[in-house]
A = this chain, B = another copy of it.
Amino acid sequence: MAMAQILSLLPRMDCRTCPARHEGLCQPMRSEEELADLARIRLGVRIAPPRCVIRSQGDEPGLALVVLSGWAAAFHTLPDGRRHITRFLTVGSLIDAEPNGLVHTIESVEAVTETAVCVQSEEALNALRAKYPLLEARFVWLLERQLVRDIERATALAQLSAKERLANLLLHLAVRAARRYPPREGEHIPLPLTQALLGEATGLTAVHVNRMLRQLTIEGVLTFQSGRLCILNLRRLEAMAASDPGVLALFAGEHPEPTALRTLPN
Contact = CB atoms under 8 A, between A and B. Distances in A.
Interface of A: 76, 78-80, 82-84, 86, 97-104, 106-107, 123, 126-127, 129-130, 133, 136, 139-141, 143-148, 150-155, 157-160, 202-203, 239, 242, 244, 246-247, 249-250, 254, 256-261, 263-264
Contacts of A151: 76, 86, 106-107
Copies, count: 2
A86 B153 CA distance: 10
A246 B148 contact: no
Nearest to A255: B101
A102 B247 contact: yes
B148 A150 contact: no
A136 B151 CA distance: 23
A152 B261 contact: no
Given A106-B244, A140-B140, A143-B140, A154 B99 contact: no
